[in-house]
Amino acid sequence: MEEETFFVGQEFPDVKAFRNAIKEAAIAQHFELRIIKSDLIRYFAKCAAEACPWRIRAVKLPNAPTFAIRSLEGKHTCGRNAHNGHHQASIDWIVSFIEQRLRDNINYKPKDILHDIHQQYGITIPYKQAWRAKERGLAAIYGSSEEGYCLLPSYCEEIKKTNPGSIAEVFTTGPDHRFQRLFVSFYSSIYGFLNGCLPVIGLGGIHLKSKYLGTLLSATSFDAEGGLFPLAFGVVDEENDESWMWFLSELHKALEMNTQNMPQLTFISDTQKGIADAVRRKFPNSVHDICIRHLSESIGKEFKNPRLVHLLWKAAQATTTIGFKEKMAEIEEVSLDAAKWLQQFHPSRWAFVYFEGTHYGHFSSNIEEFNKWILEARELPIIQVIERIHGKLMTEFEERRKQSNSWFSLLAPSAENYILEAISRASTYQVLRSDQVEFEVLSADRSDIVNIGTHCCSCREWQLYGLPCSHAVAALISCQKDVYAFTEKCFTAASYRETYAGEIYPIEAKPRWVKTEEAAMTDDDDNRVFVRPPKIRRLPGRPEKKRVCVEDINPGKHTVRCSLCNQTGHYKTTCKERF
């Protein structure tokens, strides 16, 4: 790009194309322009360096928009500095440079813009200019945040029109109709959950990063293969106890209007008290437990001890009260404060041995997986976030529906494999029958009591997973019962197909229903309400980042300490003072 590419007689489609070309050449060849005359019919400029003789003149051809170069004088004699900025590298020029990159990657960062421009043109631009260009570029491609809120009512109506039975409602506050909340649940999602999914719902939220912030709340479930199944989602201006109460109220109404018998549900969420209160009030017959992954991450952050995380998982997964108490005692030995901190959460909400509801093998919510769906879209206007979820739902429903058509087993593949493994292990057990429903099953190292009437085993695996454990399988086979008849219906291949039986229909393109914000705000001819953005908005400028301590990332080798002699290098089980 060091050689000049212009010549006398060269033509351009119009004046805009010529201006872009001369600007591109000036930036690429590192000379500044001084524009002497520029209008719709002529353009005259020269090099800004005083002693440089280079100049160019172009004019519009008669009876056509075409622009042609009429004269091109001199060669550049100015010194060029590749390390300085450039006056022609305006925000608009940067936007045109990054537009395709932004379309390909929403998370194209300002520092990447700086790097790519310097690599291609050899100039350095300010970080703030790159940041503003990205903001303007996103608005040019996806629309402004203000327009997104204004179009919400129209978009919700389009969802209900194209996907009959779906719920899409926007709620405002104040006389100026500021956005407050949005709730969306597609009919196919509601139908699939009620007729095929596991009756387990994960609750969680993810903070949005658009101009007006907000939080995306979600309710997700699991299909028979353990796959993520989004049931409903909403956007609130602020996440608090009130917003969770509202979200679960809307979720209850959505389920209630589509079934006569509300299923026995198990909710899994983080430790927020607001969620627990909302579940208790809106779903009084359900069970609400704490996500084990979230609880382990919380204790790790609170006490900065990886051993506590390990012991918490061991305590949670203990299948006997004795085993649970042993692990809790070890937690107390490592940190008395951690043991006291853990007491605020009743074991029935996070420990397997005390669980009251059936978890069907899921003890952590799948909110993190759902959040990945919209992770890249968090900076976009609210409608783009919804469209990202809608598009992903369409793809997943179609792919999983096709996948299940190739199954020939009675159960979904993962459940089928689980039963086959249980049957294999059961062949080595000895079964003693007590009565019509109760059995004692003897294995090499233990004895378990099975009750096929209540679907219970003393190992608690049948209750936790909803599938007969190897001890139950041994008991069922001994009395010539069909093992598959004792599996939960939601694990069957038929239920999986029913989960994705409905279709998520496409929503018409934006130009078909779009009404620009400016027109909407001045339209007094009808009674439609036009939603304005919430008053809460992101502060201008680059947000501060939390600095991560290197020691937190690499904590180093863990030092073990004996609880008997208080010396390092061994545990109490191998302590010499014990003997």
- Confidence (pLDDT) at 560: 63
Q: Is residue 344 part of a domain?
A: yes
Higher per-residue confidence, 342 vs 520: 342
CA dist 93 and 257 (Å) reads 53
Region 176-193: mean pLDDT is: 94
Alpha helix positions (H), 359-410: 367-374, 382-404
Q: What is the pLDDT of residues 136-183, one digit of tens each?
A: 888 888 888 888 898 899 999 999 999 999 999 999 988 889 999 999
- Confidence (pLDDT) at 524: 47
**Reduced DSSP (H G I as helix, E B as strand, rest coil) percent helix, strand, coil of the chain, to 5:** 45, 15, 40
Is 272 in the same domain as 175?
yes
Is 161 in the same domain as 55?
no
Reference 208, options 370, 385, 392, 367; nearest CA is: 385
Confidence of residue 538 (pLDDT cuts 50, 70, 90): low
**Domain tally, the chain:** 5
Give just the sign of the alpha carbon dihedral 395, 401, 406, 407: positive
Beta bridge partners of 46: 34, 55
- Confidence (pLDDT) at 81: 55
Q: Is residue 242 part of a domain?
A: yes
- Please check the confidence at residue 32 and state whether its pLDDT lies above 90: no
**Is 169 strand, coil or helix?**
strand
- Confidence (pLDDT) at 378: 87
Region 543-551: mean pLDDT is: 42
- Confidence (pLDDT) at 140: 85
Is 245 in the same domain as 282?
yes
Angle between helices 382-404 and 152-162 (to 10 degrees): 20
Residue with tokens 């529906």: 401
Q: What is the pLDDT of residues 396-424, one digit of tens each?
A: 999 999 999 999 999 999 999 999 999 99
Q: What percent of the chain has pLDDT over 70?
A: 87
CA dist 143 and 332 (Å) reads 55
Residue after which a domain boundary falls, among 338, 371, 397:
397
Is 276 in the same domain as 200?
yes
Is 307 in the same domain as 245?
no
Q: Is residue 575 part of a domain?
A: no
Q: Is residue 304 part of a domain?
A: yes
Region 21-37: mean pLDDT is: 87
CA dist 493 and 224 (Å) reads 8
- Please check the confidence at residue 218 and state whether its pLDDT lies above 50: yes
Residue after which a domain boundary falls, among 46, 73, 100:
73
Is 422 in the same domain as 458?
yes
CA dist 169 and 175 (Å) reads 18
- 560: which DSSP letter? P
CA dist 180 and 240 (Å) reads 12
Region 346-371: mean pLDDT is: 86
Q: Is residue 572 part of a domain?
A: no
Q: Vertex 233, ends 508 and 109: CA angle to 5°?
A: 75
CA dist 567 and 569 (Å) reads 7
Residues 6 or more apart whose CB falls under 8 angstroms from that of 40 comprise 15, 60
Instruction: Describe the strand order of the beta sheet including 430-433 as a list of residue ranges.
Output: 430-433, 438-442, 447-451, 456-457
Region 536-553: mean pLDDT is: 48
Residue after which a domain boundary falls, among 122, 142, 162:
142
- The token pair at 509 is 């393109």
Q: Is residue 567 part of a domain?
A: no
- Confidence (pLDDT) at 51: 83
Q: What percent of the chain has pLDDT over 90?
A: 50
Region 379-407: mean pLDDT is: 92
Residue with tokens 């959505």: 254
Cβ atoms of 182 and 382 closer than 8 Å: yes
Region 188-195: mean pLDDT is: 95
Is 249 in the same domain as 299?
no
Kindly report which listed range (351-360, 408-417, 430-439) carries the lowest average pLDDT score: 351-360
Region 130-141: mean pLDDT is: 87
- Confidence (pLDDT) at 521: 46
- Confidence (pLDDT) at 376: 81
Residue with tokens 């989602």: 233
Confidence of residue 368 (pLDDT cuts 50, 70, 90): confident
Mean pLDDT of the chain: 86
Q: What domain range is 27 assigned to?
A: 10-73
- Confidence (pLDDT) at 545: 46
Confidence of residue 4 (pLDDT cuts 50, 70, 90): low
- Please check the confidence at residue 69 and state whether its pLDDT lies above 50: yes
Confidence of residue 426 (pLDDT cuts 50, 70, 90): very high
Is 268 in the same domain as 393?
yes
Q: Is residue 3 part of a domain?
A: no
Task: Output b/e per residue, 135-174; b: 16+ Cβ within 10 A.
Answer: bbbbbeebbbbbbbbbbbbbbbebbbeebeebbbbbbbee
Is 297 in the same domain as 341?
yes
- Please check the confidence at residue 550 and state whether its pLDDT lies above 80: no
- Please check the confidence at residue 281 and state whether its pLDDT lies above 90: yes
Is 350 in the same domain as 445?
no
Confidence of residue 83 (pLDDT cuts 50, 70, 90): low
- The token pair at 297 is 């991450």
- The token pair at 173 is 């506050």
Region 55-78: mean pLDDT is: 89
- Confidence (pLDDT) at 543: 52
Reference 360, options 418, 407, 408; nearest CA is: 418
Is 217 in the same domain as 279?
yes
pTM: 0.79
Kindly report which listed range (312-321, 519-528, 570-579) carries the lowest average pLDDT score: 519-528
CA dist 460 and 317 (Å) reads 11
Higher per-residue confidence, 61 vs 356: 61
Is 202 in the same domain as 335?
no
Beta bridge partners of 230: 220
Q: What is the pLDDT of residues 444-483, one digit of tens each?
A: 888 999 999 999 999 888 988 899 999 999 999 999 999 9
Q: Is residue 161 part of a domain?
A: yes
Higher per-residue confidence, 530 vs 539: 530
